[in-house]
Amino acid sequence: MSDSPAPSFLLPQPDGDSEPFWEGCAAGELRVQSCAACGRRRMPPRPMCPWCRSLDHTWAATSGRGTVWSFVVSHPPLLAAYAAEAPYNVVVVALDEDPSIRFVGNLVASADGPLGEVDPATIVIGEPVEVCFGTEVDGVAMPRWTRPLPMS
């Protein structure tokens, strides 16, 4: 039997359009691109505004807060690294500042926790969540989602 490398998770491949987003994640900020001409936010990042066709844009940090807009529970067959963590949730989060901006990620109990640590039966559409960032892997910090701590 040969020694094969441990299975790994798929990582994003930042490019010229998305690099500011990933730099924000590394800095602990969830950044969104906005059109410099009409002001509308857009995600995923791209060079041209889909509404006014301007090529000028800006980046700004968001609150990192949103609500669960939808979710699924993943089960095998999956890639080996993911199968080891199944079943786990994949949530779609609508950003508080602009609910038309949605992120796909995982609802976790802690930034570096396993994908399956939140019982999917407890997830509620519309529940508030906030972004967190796990430890960088190969220079990429992935945005993930946690439940806000209760106010005391």
**Choice between 100 and 122, CB closer to Zn ion:** 100
- Nearest alpha carbon to residue 123 among 141, 111, 135, 105: 105
Contact window for Zn ion (CB under 5 A) among 3-11, 47-55, 91-99, 113-121: 47-55
Per-residue b/e over 28-41, b at no fewer than 16 CB within 10 Å?
Answer: ebbbbbbbeeeebb
122: its two tokens: 């407890």
Q: DSSP string covering 46-67, please? A: -SS-TTT----EEEEE---EEE
Q: Min. distance of Cβ 96 from Zn ion in angstroms?
A: 21
Stretch in the footprint of Zn ion (CB under 5 A) among 52-60, 65-73, 122-130, 139-147: 52-60
Stretch that binds Zn ion, among 38-46, 62-70, 91-99, 143-151 (CB under 5 A): 38-46
Q: Nearer to Zn ion by C-beta: 41 or 102?
A: 41
Residue given tokens 């039966």 in the structure block: 121
Tell me how far CA of residue 129 lies from CA of 39, 94, 117, 122, 135, in angstroms: 25, 10, 15, 13, 19
Which member of 35, 68, 108, 118 binds Zn ion (CB under 5 A)? Answer: 35
By CB under 5 A, name the one of 32, 49, 115, 131 that touches Zn ion.
49
Using CB under 5 A as the binding rule, whether residue 37 contacts Zn ion is answered as: yes
Residues that bind Zn ion (CB under 5 A): 35, 37-38, 49, 51-52, 54
